[in-house]
Each structure stands twice: as structure tokens, then as C-alpha cells.
A and B are shown apart, each in its own frame.
Chain A
């Protein structure tokens, strides 16, 4: 079997073709969002919201409503609850986040366990990109287009919000609205991404690509190109590996993304090994 055969063979199956397309779409929108999440410092928030959407998605399944609607409602609910627990002043924010999202996630698990046709629902938790239907693919595509469009239209405001929220406020922008916008896109993207890697691993796709891109460039515009490119390529490699090795597709996708991050961290242009020298160079330039 030649290399070309190895690469082409999976595409002869419809389910694999759909898996590749879905994975690429999800990887791109999640990677775009991840650029802002890592800069705002919302990794934990991304983890929280992406887990907290589970009961919403399960309820939407039971009621026959769009998954995205359930996810938005429970994503929003999680944020409100986290704020309410934190504002009591009795626990710190990270504890508030940890308590709220795990409780909502547990509610989702309980709902899954008591709902008939459990096979479908366990796919929400672990992902099942190889079993995705055409209509699910269409839903993923629509949500991804909406999410990406919102991010790209508001990209400058969101960068300002991430960099200097005080200035954003001082020139009359609503930081509350911008943070709600980012959280809304986060909930939408969680729905898209969980089809590929499942609720548990969504946060990986929401953090790793942005973190990897931030190691490669000091220009935000380039991050917005690098993160989706790296994310899409490593996700496709992950799907191939899962096909060849007959291993879990969601786990494989995240494993490849994590491996790429590790390689860039250790050997990239701004790696830890090279950074000492670079910093000395910058200091020499600045002091002139």
C-alpha cells in the first residue's frame, strides 16, 4: 500500500469524509476563539462553560430543540451562577467556577443516565465525529460560520477588551457586553466542538491552538491565521491516526494538538531554550 493510498483510502467512505470536514470546521472556529481566550486569561472559564453546556444539550435533545439553544441557555446560566457565588464574597472566583461547572456537568451526566437512547448521548460526552450525520454536519457548519463571523467583525473590540478593559470602558465601550459576546460565542463553539472531541475535551480545542500560535508570533493578526491553520492540520492528522490505529478520534485529535504545542514550546522560534538569548538582545537594543 502506497502513502497516497493510505491518505486517500479514508475519503472513500462517506462517514470519514464527513468526519474530516466536520473536524476541520470545528478546529477552525475553536482556534479563532482560542486566540482571545488565552489573551483574556479565560482558560478556566472556557473549561467551565464548555462543561456546563452538557445539561442544556441533553435537555435540548429530550425536547427536540436545537443543541445550540440549550448550550447558550446553560452557558449563560453557568456564568450568572459563577458571578452570583463569587459576589457573595464567601468563596474565591476559582472555587466559584469549579463548584458551578462541575455541578452543572454532573446534572448533565445524571440527565444522560436517565434518558432513553443513551448511546446517542454518550457521544456528547466523548465525541463521535466518525458517526456524524449530514444534518449534524450542516448544523455545525452554520454555527461555526455565525461564531467566526461575530469574532471577525468584532475582532478589534475584543482585542481591546483583552488588552486594556479600562481603556475600552473609558472610550465608551461596554466591557460587560463584550464579555457577554465572547461568552456567547464560547457556548456556540462548545456545541460545534463537542461533536468532534466531546464535552470533556472541548476546552483543549479552545485553548491549545491560541497558546501555540502565541508562541510563534507577536502579531495578533498572524495569530488569527496561525491558530486555525495549525488546529485544522493537527486535527486532520488526528483523524487519520485514529483511522489507521483504530483509536478514539476525539482523544487522538487533542493528543496531536498537545504534541504540536509541546514541539513549538521546546523548539519554536521563541522557545524556552532560545528565549534567554533573545531577551538579552532586546535589552541591549532598548538600553541604547
Chain B
């Protein structure tokens, strides 16, 4: 799945993360190629957010390694290679910043010590806003957007950043159907540009239109392959903690 002659965009090898006594990730091995959209499916507490943190180099790994574009997460961060779209609950929507301010934050890694934007940065921000169709709303305070528009603003931040890999944490939570379709189309376009998009979700119905492949996660990778196979009942039952063999055994007893 890797691009022509290049290292995979994202590589996790035996990644294990422990918080005290809690095992959050257990030997996760994963490779994602460029230009793909991958759905990361798991229930709450399955380790999706921890895996994102591991890919961003924000947690200490108990074991294993993470590579981004063939390098360390630290190198990827310095290059601004990874964009991140936080989940709705992680953002203070009353914060006094405009949509344009948020998108400009994508450029900070490219800027000098005071982060004063140059003309090229303003152009990149305007282009990103246009791409996600938020130009008209750019001066709004961020909380005055609808759920779907908010997500698009953060995707625009990743575009302005020129991130080659985008991590989206539950982008469809609290988003209506029409906005969801807009976001799916946008993410498909980003993949067509050669970006790698990893979308965490516990919501399955957008998956067939959105993703090229799916990963089922329950602290470890239960399945990695086509979306159609991922959606088979046996796989989903295991992912969402309904152990099929146990259920059958219990029924027989």
C-alpha cells in the first residue's frame, strides 16, 4: 500500500501503551499507504484516541515504534506533516477566535518567532477556506458555525498546514447527514491529492463511501482490510465487545 518507492505514510509496529495498570494499546501493528482513507473503528475506550496520541508522539510507548513518512513522530511534527482534527468535546467553542484565526494556526509551524503571517500565509489560509467552502463565514467566531462547518474549519487548518497525513477524531459526531456527505467528499479529495487520512469513528454508516480500508480496534488490531469485510457481523461483534463464541457457549449452557 505504500507510495511508489516511498516508506508508508504511517507505520506502527508493536505499539503498546500502558496508563498505570490500564493497558490502552496492546501490540498494535499497522501500515497505511499514501493517498488512502482509512477508517479506524472501535468503541469508546478501545484505544482510538491513544493510538492518535501515539502517532502524534504525545504518549510514551511502553513498547513498539511509530514512523511517520519513514521518520520519527518528532521529525514529522517539526515538518508539520501531521494535521489533527480534534473531537467536538475537546474544543472550547466559546474561545475568542475567528474561523480564519483557527485556519491560520495551521501555518504557525512555518512562521518565525512571533508567528506574524506573511502574504504567502494569508494566501494559503484563503485557499484552504475556499477549498472547504467557508470563505463567507471566515470572520465568524468559531462557535457560531454548525457542527459540520466546525469540522471543515479544522480540516482547512490541516490543508493550510499542508499536512500530508490527517488524523480526524470522530468527525461525524453531532454532524447532520448533508454536512457528513460534504465532509466525506472533502476527505476523498484530500486522498486524491496523495494525502493519507485516518478517521476514527464508532459510527459505521459513512464508512463505505468514505474509506478505502478499515481497521477494527479493541486495544489491539482485530482486523485490517477492506471495508466490506470489516462490516461483516462477526468482525463487528468482536470489535464492539460482543464475543460471538462466548455468546454461543452461554446459549448452550
Contact = CB atoms under 8 A, between A and B. Distances in A.
B157 A167 contact: yes
Interface stretch (B4-12, B141-149, B210-218): B141-149
Of A89, A218, A219, the most chain B CB neighbours within 10 A belong to: A218
A282 interface: yes
Contacts of A157: 108, 115
A156 B115 contact: yes
A171 B108 contact: yes
A217 interface: yes
Of A171, A217, A218, the most chain B CB neighbours within 10 A belong to: A171
B242 interface: no
A164 B141 contact: no
Contact of A164 (B56, B78, B105, B114): B105
A157 B144 CA distance: 23
Given A220-B96, A223-B96, A170 B56 contact: yes
A107 interface: no
Contact of B84 (A167, A173, A220, A285): A167
A7 B115 CA distance: 43
Interface in A155-186: 155-157, 159-160, 162-164, 166-173
B157 A153 contact: no
Given A156-B114, A159-B97, A286-B146, A166 B77 contact: no
Interface in B91-117: 91-92, 95-98, 101-102, 105-106, 108-109, 113-116
Contacts of A169: 56-58, 77
B252 interface: no
Majority DSSP secondary structure for residues of A touching B: helix
Contacts, number: 81
A100 B105 CA distance: 35
A218 B20 contact: no
Nearest to A159: B97
A160 B114 CA distance: 12
Interface residues of B, number: 37
A39 interface: yes
Contacts of B98: 219
Nearest to B91: A164
Interface in A236-288: 282, 285-287
A139 to B, nearest CB: 27
Contacts of A166: 56, 58, 84, 86, 90
Given A160-B108, A219-B98, A171 B56 contact: no
A214 interface: yes
Contact of B113 (A89, A153, A171): A153
Interface residues of A, number: 31
A218 B146 contact: no
B77 A170 contact: yes
A276 to B, nearest CB: 16
Of A162, A167, A168, the most chain B CB neighbours within 10 A belong to: A167
A154 interface: yes
Nearest to B144: A282
B114 A218 contact: no
A164 B97 CA distance: 11
Interface of B: 20, 56-58, 74, 77-80, 82-84, 86, 90-92, 95-98, 101-102, 105-106, 108-109, 113-116, 141, 144-146, 149, 157, 161
Given A162-B95, A170-B82, A223-B96, 14 more contacts: A89-B20, A160-B108, A163-B91, A167-B105, A170-B84, A171-B77, A171-B80, A172-B74, A172-B77, A173-B109, A218-B96, A218-B141, A219-B141, A286-B145
Interface of A: 39, 89, 153-157, 159-160, 162-164, 166-173, 214, 217-220, 222-223, 282, 285-287
Counting from the closest, the 7 A-B pairs by CB-CB distance are A171-B109, A156-B115, A218-B141, A172-B77, A172-B78, A220-B96, A286-B146
8 contacts: A166-B84, A166-B90, A167-B86, A167-B105, A169-B58, A172-B77, A286-B144, A286-B146
